[in-house]
Amino acid sequence: MSKEPELGKNFWLAMALSMIVLVGYPYFLRWIAPQKSIPAAPIFSTTTNSPETALPAAPTADDSAVAPAVIPEQIAYTNGALSLNFSAQGGSITELRYEDPAASAHKAKTDFFMQDAGPLSPGTLGVRLAHESADLAATRFNLKSQDAAAGRFEFEYERPGEFRLTKTYLFRPNDAGFSLEITLQNLTTHEKNFAPELIYGMSYGAAPKTEQPFYEALYTHEKIDTAKTHKIEKSGFYADKPLFWAGFLKKYYLFAVKPDWRILAAETRAQEGTLWSILRMDPVTAQPGEKVSRQFFIYAGPERYEALKKTGTGFEAVFSRGFFGLFKVWLLFALKFLNGYVHNYGWSIILLTLGIKILFAPIMELSLKSQKRMQVIQPKLKSLQEHHKNNPEKLHKETMELFKRNRVNPMAGCLPMLIQMPVLMAMYRLLFEAIELQGAPFFGWITDLSQPDRLWQFPFTIPLLNWSSLNVLPFLMVVSQMGFQKVMPQTTTSPDQKMMVAIMPLFFGFICYNMPSGLVLYWFMQNLLSIAQYAISNRARIELYHEDR
């Protein structure tokens, strides 16, 4: 019986080269002949929609209704918290920004939501009616009335013999929340159905990419769904189910829209540095001559938990979203409580770290004792592995009995990291979302806990690493991690595992180099306190079960 030849090295080399060619060829083609991007059509005149949603097509503009190419009337207004410009084009808002009157010198006092791209550019909070020939978001409205002292502005558009649309904005002093009421009057002699659509946008392309905060669009039904900018740019973001509210997230800020009636579907696209969303609302019916009013509540302000909860809209759910959302809320409350006494969020993080360490000290102590027992029984464990190397079932049984006799839990060594990970992840998100930590200083060169601790800014950026400054805390974190591993009981004898343990601090250092200094400070203090706890625990006498007893 002939024996089949073994596959040689040349075969595997050929297979590897083939895979490289197959995977790399498309990228090579893109490199030598890049495809030119086709500019997206304006979302106001789009006639195609995602097949996922089968949303009704947007109307095209009617030349007779659209405003002529003259600069529409602009009205500036501020209520102490919001600064904005109204435009007669669409009766919309072409510039909107939040102004924090209580911001200290180290915090930004203003932050844009919608940045003006010109007097003829489309504005946010435009309203149009599906199946109408005119795109009302690009049509001139008349300023019917304005009362800046009362925070009331009213715009009106009428199509004679068809309908009248009135948009009324209502503001309160020093409040980031305001209302938009739309009133539709049926001017026909028969029943008429209106299908309103609300269009709102947020600028995201003004700052250099290295300085841009993250931007996300969000839809809320039973849970909150979000999509980042790069995903929206590539394939859009759609919802084909009823929504409670929708909006945009920007680092530390929320732009949210909640209507007092049902959202049927939604669509978000990116266009020339602006994210645009359309909310397709439940149709309303008006009898001849009847007026029907509906209202939107809009919030354009900081992602401050108390302020969001105060609106009574459920917007605070955005802060506690995600798997670690509950930890994030607890951490924020704890940090704000501590800051009320020490008046420094850096020291608040240190005190919080100490509190967490004390809270979980008993569990950590059990983990340490188990690891020390594991270290003591390593010779016996190695002997079992040698003796039963050809009998895995017997080896497993003897090993489990050895662990049981010496009260060793092989998973106990994972407890410190398992306990720390939820807090680390929650702290990471907290530093990017809680505006209380924006610009919060600690001491010396650490002037913003939400940013890396830049001791010295390089005149260049290190390639690949993307390091543009000398950050000190990551190096201190690496040294403390090494010290932590030094005092920990060594429970591994494998050279590969020992090498992995040795390089892990450096790996974490690379990951944390450009992370917020508040997060690195927390990790550094965790390591220092763990070293202290292990040093104290090492003096304790560990009693082991001896087989000769």
Flag whether 448 is in a domain: yes
Return the pLDDT at 314.
Answer: 92
Tell me if 240 is assigned to some domain. Answer: yes
- Looking at the fold, whether 314 and 332 belong to one and the same domain comes out as no
Q: 280 near 239, Cβ under 8 Å?
A: no
360 and 484 belong to one structural domain: yes
Instruction: Verify that 275 and 389 share a domain, yes or no.
Output: no
333 shares a domain with 316: no
User: For 333-369, how does the pLDDT look when each residue is reduced to its tens digit (9 = 90+)?
Assistant: 999 999 999 999 999 999 999 998 888 877 777 777 7
> Counting Cβ atoms within 10 Å, is residue 28 exposed (0-12), middle (13-18) or buried (19+)?
exposed
Chain centroid, CA 520 distance in Å = 19
Q: Is residue 512 part of a domain?
A: yes
Give kind and range of the element (H or E) at residue 38: none
What is residue 149's predicted lDDT score, i.e. its pLDDT? 93
Q: Are residues 341 and 438 in the same domain?
A: yes
Chosen domain end from 294, 321, 348: 321
Supply angle C-alpha 53, 55, 56, rounded to 5. Answer: 165
* 194 and 333 inside one domain: no
The reported pLDDT for the residue numbered 59 is 41
Check: CB of residue 262 under 8 Å from CB of residue 218.
no
Let me know whether 507 and 469 are in one domain: yes
Residue 30 lies in a domain: no
How many domains does the structure of the chain reveal? 2
Angle CA 148–149–151, to nearest 5: 55
Q: What per-residue confidence (pLDDT) applies to 117?
A: 59
Give the span between the Cα atoms of 48 and 491, in whole angstroms: 61
Is 215 found in the same domain as 110?
Answer: yes
Q: Specify the residue for token string 């990970």.
A: 421
Ranges of the chain with pLDDT below 50: 1-12, 14-15, 18, 21-23, 25-41, 43-68, 105-106, 207-212, 542-549
- pLDDT value of position 46: 42
CATH of the domain at 242: 2.70.98.90
**What pLDDT shows up at residue 416?**
64
Is the same domain home to 310 and 335?
no
Q: Are both 316 and 358 inside the same structural domain?
A: no
**Beta-strand runs (E) in 152-214:** 152-159, 163-171, 177-186, 192-194, 196-203
Query: Looking at 297, 321, 345, which one is the last position of a domain?
Result: 321
Q: Which two tokens stand for residue 59?
A: 């109307």
- Domain end marker among 266, 289, 321: 321
Residue 67 in domain: no
In a domain, 139, yes or no: yes
Q: Determine the structural domain holding residue 218 and report its residue range.
A: 74-321
Half-sphere exposure (CA, 13 Å, Cβ side) for 74?
Answer: 15
Res 36: pLDDT: 38
Q: Is residue 345 part of a domain?
A: yes
Does the residue 287 lie in any domain? yes
* Same domain as 284, residue 346: no
Give CA angle at 58 (53, 60), nearest 5°. 160
If asked whether residues 363 and 268 sit together in one domain, one would say no
pLDDT tens, 134-168?
788 888 999 999 999 999 999 999 999 999 999 99
